[in-house]
């Protein structure tokens, strides 16, 4: 495994083509599947190369959340009014460097995209899960999955739940149902899919600013070949499984116990895009998390660093909290709760350290300077008793004095809690999925969507569950439509 950029192949040096099609899609996860069926529905001849023996990619590991809003049928049915404008204001507020064009397109097109997904052959349940959870435990169709109700964002946009979950119980594998429906649609539309066949490099015509992608080289076991096409859509996942790329771009991911990805999240798609002149964005950004909740009662406690200081609103979405933990000295943090609020997490990802009769003993046990944690707790408790949190503006339902000893502490430190994560950076793309150079010009004939492209999800602090499936499917469709429109009739 390495971080090398694969060589491109000059089209005039190819002596034989195994296939000639309009659009080649690399990877059949949510983004590649949506790109393929959209291009085929527009009349393009589409061929998908999938390195694995089956479709799905990392999408198959996902719980099945799609971040959608603007007034979907589920939002309407459950009494949660939303508008494209409020969704837009929220996504702009949580983005590091908001791409206003993409966010506007995503929000304005969200209801139509919701309907398109359901037209594949399923329905999101018209029901709402009100609790603070990582994912709905059953088949409820809607819940809050981001920081919509967390300060300061609740002041910048009217909060609305936008985590639409496919009707599959549990927290993994739900998205596979959508992949299966995409495969059925692809078959109806005549999309060819070659399994156990990986793209190895792009075929190009011209050079520099005049480079045009004209096809792709492939390999299946010992067999190799070249496909001629008008457009190539890279939808090959992120780079979390590439140790060299992780060490170079996202070293925090090298420190934790496990990663969320599949074998082929090795960054090859990103590196192929770079080989043709594509630029990248946010390559140093990650989603990383070890949720302490549910139960939500734990969030009435305080999260402190090794100096005994609070640094985040405890009611934040779990990857926002984790993102701030990564910024603390030694990426260390402790969740402190008193006896009346102490329950053990439903998912034991955050280990219980110990309990102490006095705060002074707890400070000593956690190696926090004497008096620091006591001062932080005293300040928090005094304000919480009045229903206030002037420091981090935690919402009233999560405010409660932690003043009834003994006290317990959970270890949220990197290396102690069971963190999971994946990469968020990828190829720079236009709103239609065109791969862009550093100067903003498009590489002709080249597109990217899903985890190998940088779109709405830019960092863990602003992430909401469902963003990857939502934007992967949405911008996959846009890439497929644009690629098909630019294909030459054969």
What does the pLDDT read at residue 171? Answer: 72
Instruction: Give just the sign of the alpha carbon dihedral 447, 453, 48, 14.
Output: positive
DSSP code for 385: T
> How many angstroms from the chain centroid is the CA of residue 157?
21
**Domains of the chain, start order:** 9-62+175-287+420-486 (3.50.50.60), 65-165 (no CATH), 291-411 (3.90.700.10)
Low-confidence ranges of the chain (pLDDT < 70): 1, 256-258, 488-490
**Beta carbons of 366 and 319 less than 8 angstroms apart:** no
pLDDT in tens, 92-104: 999 999 999 999 9
Instruction: Give just the sign of the alpha carbon dihedral 227, 232, 237, 242.
Output: positive
Tell me phi and psi for residue 293, to 5 degrees. Answer: -105, 160
What does the pLDDT read at residue 347? Answer: 87
**Beta carbons of 98 and 157 less than 8 angstroms apart:** no
H helices of 395-452, where?
none
What does the pLDDT read at residue 91? Answer: 98
Tell me phi and psi for residue 214, to 5 degrees. Answer: -120, 5
To 10 degrees, the CA torsion angle through 463, 92, 132, 149? 150
> Among 39, 115, 22, which residue's Cα sits nearest to residue 480?
39
Q: Looking at the whole model, is its pTM more than 0.95?
A: yes
From CA 61, how far away is CA 471, in angstroms rounded?
16
Tell me phi and psi for residue 173, to 5 degrees. Answer: 85, -5
- In the chain, the N- to C-terminal Cα span, in Å, equals 39
From CA 139, how far away is CA 175, in angstroms rounded?
13
What does the pLDDT read at residue 256? Answer: 64
The residues pairing with 288 across neighbouring beta strands, listed in sequence order, are 421
- The SS3 call for residue 388 is coil
**Beta carbons of 485 and 231 less than 8 angstroms apart:** no
pLDDT in tens, 446-490: 999 999 999 999 999 999 999 999 999 999 999 999 999 988 655
- The SS3 call for residue 6 is coil
């Amino acid at each position: 495994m390495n971080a090398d950029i694969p060589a491109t192949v000059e089209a005039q040096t190819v002596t034989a083509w195994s296939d000639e099609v309009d659009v080649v899609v690399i990877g059949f996860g949510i983004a590649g599947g949506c790109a393929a069926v959209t291009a085929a529905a527009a009349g393009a001849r589409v061929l998908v190369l999938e390195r694995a023996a089956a479709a799905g990619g990392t999408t198959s590991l996902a719980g099945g959340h799609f971040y959608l809003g603007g007034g979907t049928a589920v939002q309407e049915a459950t009494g949660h009014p939303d508008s494209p404008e409020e969704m837009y204001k929220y996504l702009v507020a949580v983005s590091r460097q908001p791409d206003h064009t993409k966010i506007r397109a995503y929000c304005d097109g969200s209801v139509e995209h919701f309907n398109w997904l359901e037209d594949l052959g399923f329905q999101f349940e018209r029901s709402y899960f009100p609790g603070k959870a990582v994912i709905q435990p059953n088949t409820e169709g809607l819940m809050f999955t981001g920081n919509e109700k967390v300060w300061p964002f609740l002041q910048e946009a009217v909060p609305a739940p936008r985590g639409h979950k496919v009707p599959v119980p549990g927290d993994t594998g739900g998205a596979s149902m959508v992949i299966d429906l995409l495969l059925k649609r692809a078959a109806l539309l005549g999309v060819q899919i070659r399994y156990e066949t990986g793209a190895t490099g792009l075929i190009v015509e011209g050079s520099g600013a005049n480079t045009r992608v004209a096809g792709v080289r492939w390999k299946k076991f010992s067999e190799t070949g070249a496909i001629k096409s008008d457009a190539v859509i890279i939808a090959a996942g992120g780079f979390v499984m590439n140790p060299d790329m992780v060490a170079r771009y996202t070293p925090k991911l090298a420190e934790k116990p496990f990663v969320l990805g599949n074998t082929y999240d090795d960054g090859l798609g990103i590196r192929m895009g770079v080989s043709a002149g594509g630029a990248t964005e946010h390559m140093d950004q990650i989603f990383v998390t070890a949720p302490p909740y549910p139960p939500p009662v734990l969030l009435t406690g305080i999260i402190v660093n090794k100096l005994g200081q609070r640094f985040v609103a405890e009611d934040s979405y779990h990857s926002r909290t984790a993102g701030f933990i990564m910024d603390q000295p030694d990426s260390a943090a402790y969740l402190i709760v008193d006896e009346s609020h102490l329950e053990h997490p439903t998912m034991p990802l955050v280990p219980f350290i110990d309990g102490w009769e006095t705060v002074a003993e707890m400070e000593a046990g956690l190696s926090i300077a004497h008096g620091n944690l006591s001062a932080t707790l005293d300040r928090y408790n005094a304000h919480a008793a009045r229903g206030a949190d002037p420091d981090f503006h935690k919402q009233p339902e999560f405010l409660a004095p932690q003043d009834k000893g003994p006290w317990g502490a959970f270890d949220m430190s990197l290396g102690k809690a069971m963190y999971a994560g994946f990469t968020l950076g990828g190829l720079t793309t236009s709103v239609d999925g065109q791969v862009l150079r550093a100067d903003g010009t498009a590489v002709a004939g080249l597109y990217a969507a899903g985890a190998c492209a940088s779109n709405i999800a830019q960092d863990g602090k602003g992430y909401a569950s469902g963003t990857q499936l939502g934007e992967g499917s949405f911008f996959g469709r846009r890439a497929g439509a644009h690629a098909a429109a630019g294909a030459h009739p054969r």
